Amino acid sequence: MSEPAEQSERSKKDYVTGEEISGGRLFTLLDRAEEMKRGRPSVGSDALAGRSVALIFEKPSTRTRISLETGVFEMGGHPLVLTGEALQLSRGESIEDTARVMSRFVAAIAIRSGSHEDVVALAEHASVPVINALTPEFHPCQALADLMTLKERFGGLDGLKVAYVGDGNNVARSLAIAGSMVGVEVAVAAPDGYQLEDGAPAVLTDDPYKAVHGADAIYGDVWVSMGDERTAEARISDFEPYRIDSDLLAAAKKDAIVMHCLPAHPGEEITAEVLYGPQSAVWDQAENRLHAQKALIEYLVG
């Protein structure tokens, strides 16, 4: 059966790698996110009134699930939270057919998946917006909250420098992509074998002190992510020189902030002194997932 005319002719916007939204649109989204945050709950959006959003979680989640579920509710919608086991995907139904079916029911789909290729296929075959809520390659929703936090703290984005220290992973990649669109320089310090690919829109180095020189923010992530547990001992040894501590923070600008996408392991990638210290913006950064994603959803379904 063919798609209904109103669905096939409607333009659709996705957010899969973060490259789908231009710098100009990013600034507009961030302004809207700040407006929603300042006026919460009275300043919001009814873009999802009477509509549902499918939230698929193939991996455990705290901030992503809570922020998306809360955000959909605050926009007047119904968050339909689904685990991988709850869907026929677990019994062999294709991601393409899942996309076609879900598109008949919901206004948008957000998915946290262990396969970036599956999220790409979902977006290609869905007739409603698809949001990447994390894959091994990208975490664009986190990058939105990161930019929002930087803009809040410094009043603007152009000319800022963020030093990401540790594993050159999905968070680092998405931060570099988003930063390049709004004038933020991202430097990634990682040991050999863990660095972002050549050509990534970031300054790449193996020296954390070189990366943080002149930085307005230092950013960390866990050394052992989901799926890395089998190599945990080797990873911790390799990343030992990349811990964010008071000495590394002192090498950045005097008013530099500290960022972390959480969950954190104090004593590993970051010391408790820095994580809970006066220069930490980590908790604002976590909260901003809610506001940035609400602005994103409003744009995508509009």
Catalytic residues: 112, 139, 142, 221, 261, 289
Find out whether 241 and 283 touch, Cβ atoms under 8 Å: no
Assign 3-class secondary structure to 253-269.
CCCCEEEECCCCCECCC
Burial 72-82 (b: 16+ CB within 10 A, else e): bebbebebbbb
Residue 236 CB neighbours (<10 A): 14
Alpha-carbon 94 to chain mean position:
26
Classify residue 192 by burial, with Cβ atoms within 10 Å: 0-12, 13-18, 19+. exposed
Alpha-carbon 275 to chain mean position:
19
CA separation, residue 243 to residues 163, 222, 259, 272, 274 (Å): 13, 10, 13, 11, 11
The single residue listed with the structure tokens 């302004």 is 31
CA separation, residue 290 to residues 110, 115, 161, 246 (Å): 14, 24, 24, 30
